[in-house]
Amino acid sequence: MQTGRPLEFDPQLAIDAAMGVFWLRGFEATSLSDLLAAMGLSKSSFYNAFGSKQQLFEACLVRFRRRHVERMGEMLHSAASPLAFVREMLLTNAREAREPGPRRGCLIMNTATEFAGRDAAVAACVEDAARDFAAMFRTAIEMAQEHGEIPRNADAAVLARYLLTTMAGLRTMVKAGLPADELEKVVEVAMSALR
């Protein structure tokens, strides 16, 4: 079995580059040439390696999900307490409003609003990611309950979905132009629902 010429680019890195563009501009507003420019590929290499714009997009969603679930896990692990982790997560979302430059929000939430209704495969990616994020929150809440930070009779699954909802809302409000300091106060109100 012959090997042939090896790939000249790193597919993972290319996906990362594409992810950045999709993240910033969404699916529809991103053109093929935008992608090619960002990835540094020719058209044929692109189609050879990724099939189509939408397939690449789905790959980006999967990669985004994996990476961010991982990052959440690390944050939970290194946080002062489970509840501190939750607060930190929400604050991180709110504080995007503080940064200069464009607000890109969360790729998954963006996709849910822009695209999930139109394509089943994409919708599945979004649902999977949402489930994963909620599961991370649920773990944190159960830990907090054992810690005594949250009442033990509370329904951890419902609280987890509540937190996910709040996260999504914060991201939307950032995009809608609310200032960071106001959103940080909103986070404190949101946290008060856990007690």
Partner DNA sequence: GGTTAAATGGACCAAGCGGTCCAAAAATGG
Partner DNA sequence: CCATTTTTGGACCGCTTGGTCCATTTAACC
Q: Which of residues 129-188 bind a second copy (CB under 8 A)?
A: 130, 155, 158-159, 161-162, 164-173, 175-178, 182-183, 185-186
In the bound complex, what is the minimum distance in angstroms from residue 60's beta carbon to a second copy?
A: 17
Number of residues that bind DNA (CB under 7 A): 25
Asked if 164 and 68 count as a contact pair (C-beta separation under 8 A), the reply is no
CA 144 to chain centre: 23
* H helix count then E strand count, the chain: 9, 0
The token pair at 185 is 């106060």
Q: Which region, judged by CB under 7 A, interacts with DNA, from 27-35, 126-134, 142-150, 187-195?
A: 27-35
Stretch that binds DNA, among 2-10, 125-133, 160-168, 183-191 (CB under 7 A): 2-10
Separation between Cα atoms, residue 153 and residue 65, nearest integer Å: 31
Rounded Cα–Cα distance for residues 16 and 10 (Å): 10
Q: Is 125 in the site for DNA (CB under 7 A)?
A: no
Residue type present at position 34: D
- Binding-site member from 10, 12, 13, 31 for DNA (CB under 7 A): 31
Structure tokens of 158? Answer: 């419902």
For 55, other C-beta atoms within 10 Å of its C-beta total 12
Give CA–CA dist 133/115, Å, rounded: 19
Q: Which one of DNA, a second copy, none interacts with residue 148, CB within 5 to 8 A by kind?
A: none
Question: Which residues make up the interface to a second copy (CB under 8 A)?
Answer: 24-26, 28-29, 102-105, 108-110, 112-114, 116-118, 123, 126-127, 130, 155, 158-159, 161-162, 164-173, 175-178, 182-183, 185-186, 189-190, 192-193
